[in-house]
């Protein structure tokens, strides 16, 4: 069976790839099922704190990272840092900062440079992981198709296909998530392997 998922935002869906956080309702040929969203308390960031986080991460990477231009040109790295500064300074929550930092780390193109939710402070980790709006199923990506591996919802079964989220098709969702996935250089196959819930390795 094929399903289209609605009532969530694109940015929240991107977070769900890593964190399983997604508010949704299922709209196949069966009655819709709504999943209430009682968000966990989000760790707030003041403008001063956001600017400090941006400054620390940028200066640390520029001073200590041994291979900023191994896979990227200096122009690309400069653009990535500028993009991070814009997003990071505008971040009002630790979740938004985490997403901005994740994109920056991935932009370096080094498979050993990445954000890790388990290394965050207790408040930030709770904001990222403990929200009650979780996906009621797990998926794997097979040739741009999201296939369900297991589900807690009777109307969605293993082997079903998720066609879209908020009208965004599977292929387009993959394109949206690529900037947040880590790997060396142009190894997109390794990047895509990270977004399946059946992934066994962490290398």
**Domain check: are 54 and 111 in the same one?**
yes
pTM for the predicted model, two decimal places: 0.74
Mean pLDDT, residues 180-203: 79
Residues 6+ apart with CB under 8 A from 44: 92, 93, 94
Confidence of residue 133 (pLDDT cuts 50, 70, 90): low
Interval 55-59 mean pLDDT: 97
What value does the mean pLDDT take over residues 144-169? Answer: 89
Grade residue 13 by pLDDT with cuts at 50, 70 and 90. very low
Exposure on the CB side of residue 182, measured as CA atoms within 13 A: 15
End residue of a domain, out of 81, 109, 129:
129
In a domain, 199, yes or no: no
Q: Model confidence over 58-116: pLDDT tens digits? A: 999 999 999 999 999 999 999 999 999 999 999 999 889 999 999 999 999 999 999 98
| 116 and 64 in a common domain | yes
If residue 19 lies in a helix (H) or strand (E), which one and from where to where?
A: helix 10-19
**Which residues have C-beta within 8 Å of that of residue 202, sequence separation ≥ 6?**
none
Res 132: pLDDT = 66
Q: Give me the phi and psi of 20, to 5 degrees please.
A: 75, 25
- CB neighbourhood size of 62 (10 A): 11
The residue length of the chain stands at 203
pLDDT over threshold 50, residue 12: no
As a whole number of angstroms, the distance between CA 54 and CA 76 comes to 18
Considering the domain boundaries, does residue 14 fall inside one? yes
Which carries the bigger pLDDT value, residue 105 or residue 201? Answer: 105
For the stretch 159-172, pLDDT in tens is 999 998 778 888 89
The domain boundary residue, chosen from 129, 144, 175: 129
Alpha carbons 106 and 1: distance in angstroms, whole number = 34
Average model confidence (pLDDT) for the chain?
A: 79
Residue that terminates a domain, selected from 129, 152, 177: 129
In the predicted model, what is the mean pLDDT of residues 28-48? 51
How many distinct structural domains can be found in the chain?
2
**Host domain of residue 12:** 2-39+135-193
Mean pLDDT of 27-47: 48
Confidence of residue 137 (pLDDT cuts 50, 70, 90): confident
Domain assignment of residue 201, yes or no = no
User: Do residues 109 and 23 lie in contact, with contact meaning Cβ atoms separated by under 8 Å?
Assistant: no
- The 8 Å CB, 24+ separation contacts for 39-43 are 39/131, 39/132, 39/133, 40/126, 40/127, 40/130, 40/131, 40/132, 41/126, 41/127, 42/93, 42/94, 42/95, 42/127, 43/93, 43/94, 43/95, 43/121, 43/123, 43/124, 43/126, 43/127
User: Do 25 and 60 reside in the same domain of the chain?
Assistant: no
CB 169 within 8 A of CB 55: no
Shared domain check, 125 and 88: yes
Q: Which of 20-29, 87-96, 184-193 is predicted least confidently?
A: 20-29
**83 against 39, higher pLDDT:** 83
| Residue 203 counted as domain residue | no
pLDDT-derived band at 134, boundaries 50, 70, 90: low
Report the pLDDT value the prediction gives residue 6, as an integer from 0 to 100: 65
- For residues 74 and 115, state if they share a domain: yes
């Amino acid at each position: 069976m094929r399903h289209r998922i609605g009532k969530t935002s694109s940015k929240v869906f991107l977070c769900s790839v890593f964190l399983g956080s997604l508010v949704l309702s299922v709209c196949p040929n069966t009655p819709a099922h709504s999943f209430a969203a009682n968000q966990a308390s989000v760790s707030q960031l003041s403008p001063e704190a956001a600017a400090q986080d941006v400054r620390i991460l940028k200066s640390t990477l520029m001073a200590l990272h041994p291979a900023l231009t191994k896979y990227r040109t200096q122009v690309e790295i400069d653009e990535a840092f500028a993009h991070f500064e814009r997003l990071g300074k505008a971040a009002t929550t630790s979740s938004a900062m985490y997403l901005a930092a994740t994109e920056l780390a991935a932009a370096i193109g080094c498979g050993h440079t990445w954000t890790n939710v388990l290394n965050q402070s207790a408040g930030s980790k709770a904001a990222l992981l403990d929200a009650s709006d979780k996906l009621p199923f797990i998926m794997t990506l097979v040739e741009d198709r999201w296939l369900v591996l297991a589900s807690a919802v009777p109307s969605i079964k293993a082997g079903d296909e998720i066609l879209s989220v908020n009208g965004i098709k599977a292929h387009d969702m993959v394109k949206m998530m690529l900037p947040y996935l880590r790997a060396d250089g142009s190894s997109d196959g390794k990047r895509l392997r990270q977004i399946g819930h059946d992934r066994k390795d962490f290398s």
